[in-house]
Structure 1
Amino acid sequence: MTDHPTIPMPRDGGWAAYTDYSRRLATLLQDERARAEQQAAASRDGQAAVDQITHRLGTQRQHLHQLAATLRLPEPHVGGIAPGPIPDPAEALRRAAAAADAADVAAENAHRRAAQPPLLPGFTPLARNALVYAAAAMLGTFASLLMFAVSPDADLGRIPWQLVPWSLCGLPALAFFAGYLTISLVGQPRIGGGGTRSARAGGVICFVGMPILWFIFIAATRG
């Protein structure tokens, strides 16, 4: 049978010192145990935060790739990031979350801008299209009047009848298709839909408005 070591009893008041050191040792052990539990909890919280930010970055990367494909932009390159001189893991996580928030704001801003057409984004679709068709009609009318002005018949005081088909049909058709093409290229949102080309309104502006202006010009010059 093995004998257990015995602790010598202190003499001359040594028992009080012994119990005092025992209490101190128990307090130190308790504090160390609490500190270890706090570190373990902090480690678990840190790992959970790392897992959360990793999942968020993965979702964000997928969203950026989808947004680039929708906007017909080059695919974003998301490479590795070299570790920075941030010794505090909590501060590093805070900065990573702040960077992810900034990226979300930038992506939302790009999405919002892409939902608006590049041409006159603050206008309603009808107002934008009407303005485009009106501009095309004005250019077509100017071309018609210029053709009328340089015609030899105009110098003789006669109506250049050979220009009438162009003024009443040809140039309005060109103006309509120019406006329609302009709206199709720069007057439509790249995402979200909601675009319209207002072909009926464009037809009225070009095929009705331009002949009216032409007849007004003829009447003014002949009168």
Structure 2
Amino acid sequence: MPAPRRSGAERPGRYAPQPVSWAAYTETARRLGEILHGERARVDQQAARDRRLRTGADELAHRLAVQGQHLADLAGTLRLPQPQVGNVAPGPVPDPAEALRRGAVAADAADAAAAEAHARAGRPALLPGLPPVARNALLYAAAALLGSGVSMLLFLLSPGDLGRIPWQLVPWSLCGLPALAFFAGYLAIGLLGRPRLGGGGTRSARLGGAICFLGMPLLWLVFLAATRG
């Protein structure tokens, strides 16, 4: 009697699929959904980060362009060499966010240096803490003292008795040297007593004239009276 034939599920060597429960199927679907959601969130975060970096780079580029123009204008006003802006080799910073941060820090430092240069240009090189009138008076007085010293030295070196008035020095002592002292003080105020920015006010010409054309002859007369006994 022939043996009964086996069905396909009962044949040896063939894979028989196992039934999947509904709970296992839903768990697998939930895990796949979480993975997909996480991947989408990561992609969205990366896109947002790229947009922020692109915006930050554009803002920094605009700031550097404005800053470069400001530095060029400031250098021209201060009669200084033009700054070299750009053409800088990129540094080894792999993180774009860190590179932007360093760029912003460097731009802040450049702004601070420009502000310091502008502030220093608004102060005179000589005696910056004094008011303009007091500074001008000191410069005129220094020039007048120097001129008076020259006048007295010429008097001492002139031939003849010290008790005799050297009439050949009178025009120089009363007019020539005071005029030279006045113009020396006027020039010194223009070179050292006035800031490069802001003007710095007047040169106090009337005050300088009074110091040089009145003070120097008075000192010379006092010197003559002292030498004549």
* TM-score, structure 1 as length reference: 0.91
Q: Distance in 2 between matches of 1:176 and 1:14?
A: 110
- Paired with 1:165 and 1:153, the residues of 2 have a C-alpha distance of 18
Q: CA deviation at 1:79?
A: 2.5
Deviations 1:178-198 (A, max 9, x none): 111111122221112233211
CA contact (8 A) 1:153 1:159 kept: no
Q: Which structure: larger Rg?
A: 2
1:72 partner SS? coil
Q: Aligned letter for 1:134?
A: A
Q: Note the alpha carbon deviations across 1:71-119, whole angstroms, 9 max, x for none.
A: 0111111122222111111111111000000000000000000111112
Q: Which residue of 2 aligns with 1:48?
A: 55
Aligned residues: CA RMSD: 1.4
* Aligned pair partner of 1:205 in 211, 218, 228: 211
State the Cα deviation string for residues 165-217 of structure 1 (Å, max 9, x = none).
11111110010011111111222211122332110110010000001111111
Are 2:34 and 1:32 equivalent residues in the alignment?
no
Mapped partners of 1:196, 1:158: distance in 2: 42
Greater shift, 99-108 or 177-186, is seen at 177-186
Say whether 1:61 aligns with 2:68.
yes
TM superposition outliers: structure 1 runs of 4+ over 4 Å:
none
Name the amino acid aligned to 2:226.
A
Which residue is equivalent to 2:8?
A: none
Conserved? CA contact 1:189–1:195, under 8 Å: no
1:124, distance to aligned residue in structure 2 (A): 1.3
Q: Residues 5-20 of structure 1: matches in 2 within 5 Å?
A: 11-20=18-27
Residue correspondence of structure 1 range 1-223 to structure 2 within 5 A: 11-155=18-162, 157-223=163-229
Separation in structure 2 between the aligned mates of residue 221 and residue 190 of structure 1, nearest angstrom: 46
- String of CA shifts for 1:103-149, please: whole Å, max 9, x gaps: 00000000000111112222211111111100100010001111111
CA contact (8 A) 1:188 1:196 kept: no
> Is this contact kept in 2: 1:136–1:178, CA < 8 A?
yes
**Number of corresponding residues:** 213
Moved more, 34-43 or 11-20: 11-20
The one-letter amino acid of 1:166's match is W
Contact conserved, 1:173 with 1:207, CA < 8 A, in 2? yes
- What residue number does 1:4 align with? none
Q: CA deviation at 1:57?
A: 0.3
Gaps of 5+ in 1: 1-9
Amino acid at match of 2:146: L
Contact 1:151 1:160 in 2 (8 A): yes
